[in-house]
């Protein structure tokens, strides 16, 4: 039997457009002789829909779309993911359509993602369907983890899924599936969706794994794809993906570009502006913006103060010229002096400190936001996870922006990404930017190392603290200096209030701030 796997990019709430895409793929599958076509979880609604799943009108529109899709399934069977309203509440369902109507509704039983908890209720779980003598067990989402509960008579297990991207998750996902298929002796077909959905990215990578744990089909990453799988044909086993470090960095790049592109396009935005400092963070964000939106839609603003080095401005200009983006230079010395003078009746003759440093950062944000308002640009934030964690940033200054594409990447990962970009895209980032010591240039001869240890150390501690959930004592026992660990821990806990006020951050890790890692605003626990 030929089974079509439709890996599509859906938009949350654009029910008619999503339904049209599904119908188009059904017709394509039928033309290619498929008896069954499978779509991802939440294909009709898009995901994560959050509070939309509590709205009866939204769920009614989804069901009306399902009826329209079902009418196309006269000579083919389709399995389509959608939320459905029941007497118990909304469920995530795989809807089986054939003979022009809805035939079965298979509900998700295991709800493990925070983005679903509180919005949907648990359902009955898997069902068995039969198509031309082929027995198929259909499961939704994380119900795949309960393979042992599915009767052995099923020839294939079809998993309708919406699995987001996160660094390291792909390896874990497929190793888990491999273990399940082998130990439970099951053939598994997984259909995932692809595309950016706000702060999430779905990576696609749908596929088929046989009961020997061998990968027989792997679809594209971060792209739409449509493929036919013939259950009666011989299939060569494919090599295991996601094996190299360089491959992982490539995946981060593709995830970031897709997440940024879809955030803009699905919201109706076209142009992005970036504050270019001549540093590594803004350089990487500019490269990602060009990769996602095109150079013609990206503009850089350089805003030197009296503390900025001439080299920084020239480095930023070189980057902009290498990328082919428009840029402007707006010195902020006059604005800075004016504000400082205005404050003198209040601050008197106090010495230069963080107050004056933060004024510079906030002036730059005022200019960037003015560009956004006046010319229709959307401001991209250039933060990273290391600085977000320890609060090495100015609230309402460089924390501002409509979207942060790199805010879930540690500083060392920013450098990895920069090297990947240079290696694969003709060296747009000047080597001097890669080699210069990180600095905010908010006072004379300032270096991040004046306050922080090297970022390799900072990131290693933060990773253990955030991703691995280790206590300070565990980190110290792993060989890290106790004073450094205590300092980093204090900075992380002291800056919770800042992280609550950051822009939306594209979630590229397995433990993102405000989601998997969420501290109370008021907290006296020692962590």
**pLDDT tens string 350-384:** 888 888 899 999 999 999 999 999 999 999 999 99
Residues paired with 418 in a beta bridge: none
> Which structural domain, as residue segments, surrounds residue 183?
2-243
Is 479 within the bounds of a domain?
Answer: no
Contacts of 44 by beta carbon, 8 Å cutoff, 6+ apart: 10, 15, 18, 19, 22, 62, 65, 66, 69, 80, 81, 82, 83
Is 457 within the bounds of a domain?
Answer: no
Segment 161-170 mean pLDDT: 90
3-state percent helix, strand, coil for the chain, nearest multiple of 5: 40, 20, 40
Segment 448-476 mean pLDDT: 91
* Measured distance CA(158)–CA(231) in Å, rounded: 13
The total of other beta-carbon atoms located within 10 Å of residue 298's CB is: 27
pLDDT at 126: 93
DSSP state of 213: S
Same domain? For 33 and 118 the reply is yes
Taking alpha carbons only, the member of 163, 162, 209, 206 closest to residue 184 is: 209
pLDDT at 478: 95
Same domain? For 294 and 208 the reply is no
Tokens of 350: 């106090």
Is 463 within the bounds of a domain?
Answer: no
Is 503 within the bounds of a domain?
Answer: no
**39-48, 239-248, 442-451, range with greatest mean pLDDT:** 39-48
Same domain? For 257 and 136 the reply is no
Q: What is the pLDDT of residues 168-220, one digit of tens each?
A: 888 788 888 888 888 888 899 999 999 999 999 999 999 999 999 899 999 99
pTM value?
Answer: 0.94
* Measured distance CA(273)–CA(326) in Å, rounded: 10
Which of 409, 427, 448 is a domain's end point? 448
pLDDT above 60 for 527: no
Number of domains in the chain: 2
Three-state DSSP at 325 gives coil
Within 37-87, residue ranges assigned H as helices are 56-70
Same domain? For 256 and 289 the reply is yes
Cis amide bond preceding 231, omega within 30: no
* Measured distance CA(47)–CA(50) in Å, rounded: 8
Same domain? For 361 and 405 the reply is yes
Same domain? For 414 and 442 the reply is yes
The CATH number assigned to the domain holding 156 equals 3.60.110.10
């Amino acid at each position: 039997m030929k089974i079509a796997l439709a890996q599509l990019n859906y938009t949350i709430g654009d029910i008619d457009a999503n339904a049209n895409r599904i119908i188009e793929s059904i017709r394509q599958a039928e033309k290619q002789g498929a008896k069954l076509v499978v779509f991802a979880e939440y294909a009709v609604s898009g995901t994560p829909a959050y509070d939309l799943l509590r709205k009866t009108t939204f769920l009614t529109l989804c069901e009306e779309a399902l009826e329209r899709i079902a009418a196309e399934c006269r000579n083919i069977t389709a399995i389509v993911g959608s939320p459905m309203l029941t007497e118990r509440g909304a469920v995530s369902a795989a809807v089986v359509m054939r003979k022009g109507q809805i035939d079965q509704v298979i509900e998700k039983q295991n709800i493990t993602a925070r983005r679903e908890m509180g919005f949907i209720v648990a359902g009955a779980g898997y069902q068995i369907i039969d198509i031309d003598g082929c027995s198929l067990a259909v499961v939704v989402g994380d119900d795949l983890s309960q393979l042992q509960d599915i009767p052995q008579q099923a020839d294939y297990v079809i998993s309708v899924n919406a699995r987001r991207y996160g660094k390291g998750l792909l390896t874990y996902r497929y190793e888990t599936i491999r273990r399940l298929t082998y130990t439970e002796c099951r053939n598994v077909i997984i259909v995932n969706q692809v595309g950016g959905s706000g702060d999430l990215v779905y990576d696609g990578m749908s596929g088929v794994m046989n009961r020997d744990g061998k990968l027989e089909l792997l679809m594209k990453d971060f792209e739409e794809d449509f493929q036919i799988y013939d259950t009666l044909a011989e299939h060569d086993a494919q090599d295991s993906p996601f094996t190299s470090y360089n491959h992982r960095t490539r995946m981060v790049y593709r995830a970031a570009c897709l997440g940024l592109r879809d955030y803009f396009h699905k919201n109706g935005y076209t142009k992005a502006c970036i504050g270019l400092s001549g540093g590594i963070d803004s350089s990487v964000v500019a490269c990602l913006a060009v990769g996602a939106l095109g150079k013609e839609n990206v503009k850089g603003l350089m805003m030197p103060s009296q503390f900025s080095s001439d080299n920084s401005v020239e480095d930023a200009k070189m980057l902009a010229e290498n990328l082919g983006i428009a840029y402007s230079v707006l010195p902020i010395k006059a604005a800075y002096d004016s504000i400082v003078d205005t404050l003198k009746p209040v601050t008197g003759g106090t010495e230069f400190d963080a107050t004056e440093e933060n004024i510079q950062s906030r002036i730059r944000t005022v200019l960037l936001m003015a560009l956004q308002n006046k010319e229709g640009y959307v401001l991209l934030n250039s933060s990273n996870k290391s600085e977000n964690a320890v609060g090495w940033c100015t609230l309402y200054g460089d924390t501002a922006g409509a979207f942060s594409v790199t805010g879930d990447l540690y500083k060392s990962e920013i450098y990895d990404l920069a090297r990947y970009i240079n290696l694969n895209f003709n060296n747009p980032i000047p080597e001097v930017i890669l080699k210069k010591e990180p600095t905010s240039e908010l006072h004379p001869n300032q270096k991040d190392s004046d306050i922080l240890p090297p970022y390799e150390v900072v990131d290693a501690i933060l990773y253990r603290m955030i991703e691995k959930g280790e206590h300070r004592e565990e980190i110290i026992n792993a060989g890290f200096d106790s004073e450094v660990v205590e300092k980093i821990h204090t900075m992380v806990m002291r800056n919770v209030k800042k992280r609550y006020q950051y822009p939306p951050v594209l979630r590229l890790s397995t433990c993102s701030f405000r989601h998997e890692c969420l501290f109370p605003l008021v907290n006296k626990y020692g962590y």
